[in-house]
Amino acid sequence: MTGERVDVLRLGYRLGRDPRITTHLALVGRALGADRFLLAGDKDPKMFENLDSVANRFGGGMDCEHIKNPMGWLRRFVEEDAGDGMPGVAVHLTMYGEPFREAIPRIRRDRPMVIVVGGAKVPGDVYKYSQYNIAVGNQPHSEVAALALFLDAWYGEAGSNRSFDDARLIIEPSATGKSVRDLDREEEE
Ligand code: SAM
């Protein structure tokens, strides 16, 4: 994407319970405009391999990283260094926050951003460190839905229409069925 880097940080990941929804979270991030997926909680190299495999086939890259101390990481991100030696912007998605469409116009776009989503229990420090606590409706639902709606509002059409470098499989939009170019097969022929 053009513009500053956008990370998604998923807190409190539990092996065994969360792989499917967390894979979906990373895929939604990739598809709608995020650049990196950061996972706190249990380590899961297998999930990172699956995400890599999607990127290998459908293009683009999504850097995935395990974060050992997410509260330390978040504090440093907002107070000291978002990767370039200057503080960044943290947006925490929570049903307790302020309405996302009202908040988005106030969020600066000239700094890297991390979008934080919770798991079973969100530590209180997340509310303190995040400059924005933002709700996608004040009802409990899903981190995947919250991320999708937030990224759509943040990027508009540019998010879901983003292009991916070095794709081997390219889906051609079709109103009537599946149309997929397989570049590996085309090169063999
Ligand atoms: N029990 C958790 C808590 O203490 O907040 C919430 C668990 S919820 C299944 C997982 C995550 O989904 C939340 O941490 C939040 O990031 C996101 N989420 C759920 N509903 C949301 C909403 N209405 N707006 C924004 N994010 C939401």
- pLDDT per residue as tens digits for the range 29-80: 999 999 999 999 999 999 999 999 999 999 987 899 999 999 999 999 999 9
Contact yes or no for 131/145 (Cβ under 8 A): no
Assign 79 to helix, strand or coil.
helix
Q: Which of 133, 143, 151 to mutate to test the pocket of ligand 1 (most atoms within 8 A of CB)?
A: 143
If you compute the radius of gyration of the chain from its CA atoms, what whole number of angstroms results?
17
Average pLDDT over residues 139-160: 95
pLDDT of amino acid 14: 96
The beta-strand segments (E) located in the chain are: 6-13, 36-41, 63-67, 89-99, 113-117, 132-135, 169-171, 180-182
83-92, 143-152, 157-166, 171-180: the lowest-pLDDT one: 157-166
Residue type, 185: R
| CB 140 less than 6 A from any atom of ligand 1 | yes
| CB 143 less than 6 A from any atom of ligand 1 | yes
Residue 61 Cα to ligand 1 midpoint, Å, equals 27
- Is residue 22's pLDDT more than 90? yes
Residue 95 Cα to ligand 1 midpoint, Å, equals 6
Contact yes or no for 23/55 (Cβ under 8 A): no
pLDDT of amino acid 163: 87
